[in-house]
Chain A
């Protein structure tokens, strides 16, 4: 083989330096990407000649146990092209203001020396205001100076606070975990100012309501390494390789460790390729599949044969043994509420007896009151809030009966409803009759109800299915075929394998679940059906088991210390925190395009309303949900009015306000949101694409918030069905006076904003990053200084704070008082506020702040000191300690220790630890968090020991002297410590899995009974038929109201338009990146089935128009056999700056993105509040948005595309 030139002459190879030189670099710095991908990957950034060249993954995560695969490398195709953005033509290098506005501003400034007066003159001029509003999003940006930009923003803020109140300003930034200091910059500024902050987790439909319903926790899931411990992995509505790219290997490797992988997905998705079984459940119908799976598991593993492990697990860790009162309705009964312990003689006088519950004790045969329910948490005597099987009264042992089948006073017929068909069924249930203070009550257990609900007869009478192949009665394997398109045999084998594996492995089965299920209107029900399978098989709280929901990088690990920084509670409290879905549903006027309820409306009672808006209004007035603006008056003005009426102390002011409300002299802004005085006026957006990716009902944002052009044609439908909320004939357009966006790239939100401020990108600033998917904390680091005129978010808000303080001298020269309304909160005694739903405004009870209505607090602010306070760690934290999930950790001495270690900041109020630099803020977070300072963890566990009476502090003993600081993190990612604020255990390299502390240490869940809940007895759940796990199909085309005005134009098809997370972007980020567009199709295409395409005469890569009443999409088609018929995939949130064409159907206006065809819909049952786990917590509770129940008409684009 003489021709292989094994060159002997090394000189001839000296050219090889050509490539060696390209590889050479000058510096390597650790950073990551602050993007909502849940990856949280540590990256090394390469710098040459002061220019970032590229990035490669860090591979130095500390090891877990040696029998687990490693976390290396972590990173994905989007992350590895991030550096493209830094110097791209999309980079925002300078402040920008749209020319129309800037000219008007200069003009106003020329005639008004005072900037606040200048702003007032500008926005009070309706013509000028309309001029710059209609120009939004249509080019015309002009470079501005930092001084001008900050001045205009500060002036608008002060004008708004003065004229309308600070609660008319609003801020939005999502996912603090991805760059928590940058998030805290804006939120700290807003809370010092008094402006509400919008939540994101629920708005994104990433928040799974089933989690708080079941566990009292927003989400608490396993890190991805724990998938490897699983022996049966079901992936449902999650596309692991595509969206969990750095984690997918654990699932693949688990297969080689003997796990089976089953993918439930309507399309042959990427993860389907990794699966042993691909089960193409019809889109949005997963709940039906799981209902039948549960039917089989309960039949075969709980009735035909009992599995001791399953049985014991349910008795200890679930609400199964608890007693439910059955209410007589005609000939039969319906399941009612948990029987309260204080209704029986033995427990008549116990404290919080409405919040303690009963089981039947096998030993005594009597009703007994086990410890651990919510009443124990908030009682005076501490130490009984635990899961020990003991009586709360005398500490005697309790052995709760799961079922009354063998010990009963007979059987009664209970009515069950199948919401999918509307049919009802009478089914026999074993009961006991108990003498109570309300007379004799018929009760059964949750377990017995669960059996009846799932149609498992156990030989009882009534309308139970005959067998598995009975297709007429829910919830058999045969029944589910009509919804899922999956055969009964598959269900059977799946159920047997799932439960069989759980039995053999003591619960090592997991369901990895995501947006594919969570983005449906009835997602909570889909989730609860899967959760049911997990709990009845003992899989929750077990390594390798559990519900692993990953949607949104929502796990901000050091939450206790961070929230003090971010909510400025070191200086002032409470913060104004607003649930995003309600806010946008109301303020962007999307409620106007709805009528009726999307859910089956209750036929009577409090919840029998004909429009969601009225239920939303109820929820606010009863203190269930927050809402800003609070009242139809400026809260600063209200305090003045109270004072002039003689109220002086905080209590007097609050009393005065309550009296005004009672007398209807003061109204909640929620009752009339379209009145100009109640509009949001200034919107500050940072780290977000709030107007595009986050804007479900995007076109309505353009219309009602911005006042610019849109492509919606939906008509007002609400008139008539809305009763409690004021109807304005003409919907207001352009509510926002000013929209400010901090950004490093010209994304859609920046493009539509008035002021764009150049933010330092992720390789130009110091910050912190954590995620659900792994158990490390690591930094973002400045590989190069902020480029051009950009600044880190921390410095931008600091500069804005400075400008606000400066301009305040003339407008808010002295400290002043603000009245803050906040809802009833989770993890506080508010959880016991409302045993029954009573409306004070209907005269059903008194208006009592913090009990029957929102809390009202009087808060002192001082805008002249806003800057100083921003820059220093206030003394309040020293007294109050830090808190997360109800665990209060004292840190007084640690505060002093910290102050002695770090630079200080001095101003007339005193000398405090400095927060001037983002690294100072990062070190504050690390120092006071139990997850990064072992001493704080130890103290937290001591606090929890006090509450529970359990021994727990040993979990932190070994880490007591471990403490991380920012410098340490830049050297190597560090593993989070076992924390009382979370439920997993990470000691000794163990993989984090949610709820292990509950299972192993008997710490209660933060729920009504302290156990995992199958049964939800809040009146709203009873009214809407969701007290037990059940199945409701996706919203039908008719009920969707998507196609009222849109009609077929030529050869068309109606499709269910799904918007899953895509392969070539993380939401909108990277969607405009040249590399990503090159590897995909140069645009975000519209995926459809080949036969559907044939019917539409659309060939691969041809243009289509997809439209409904909400808006229109005009893009190219990808034709593929992997997409099911009747379904289109348009991957989530491409920038609408990509070359989408204009729409002939909508006046040749430019077609939009995914959210151009969606609209917000709120599910009323999820608004419940003031009741145990149904209590508000920011980002962790409330009605989640949804987007999958969306229909579009699709046609081939006629003619040539107009770009």
Chain B
């Protein structure tokens, strides 16, 4: 690489961003300090009591549920996001492109409460889907798609789709035509091109998008509350409950630290895994 960024220049380029994220780092540190506070409502003294109090089987179940749901939601979201990205980049008319962009962004715009209401109208026990199926005689009792893990999964996928699609789109735009043309001229079928050429080329973008989606889903609390009927105890919900009405802020901070650590572990591990497998392929 003949363009290498000199150290001072790299630092200069990075500095503004680092300054921008400093307040957040401050907040992180504050949260950490809170988690080792001896008091529940204010920062005072040092103690790891908050962490110890969390070590219950119930919390363990909550952790597992969070990781599981976040993972499944991420996988499905990626499976939907890639085709969407392909579609978006293949559309010819700018109007169609803009419409699709806006459609994909809708979940970020609309108030979550209202979206949950929409889902209830559609998928609720007396919603459109169940009523139609009943009328057609296909089912007797309603299918419960909401107020359980399915409902939460649906909500997680919906809200993380936009986060996944656009980074992939950026990567797709960067795909070099030559690679794809070469593959097809060599007679590779669409699937082969996809698996052997497109995916490896997109890999960094895919991993990046998946990381964002996973992190986002792991911390979700509004969706399990609204679409899970509160029966799905993800960690975000537990944290929110500790903030109020339990007013156990140090416990909430401790749970937050655990959540962040777990997410980081998953992210680091998955990027390592991807790197190792892709090296094997290339090597």
To the question of whether A and B form a pair in one complex, the answer is no
Chain A interface residues toward B at CB < 8 A: none
Chain B interface residues toward A at CB < 8 A: none
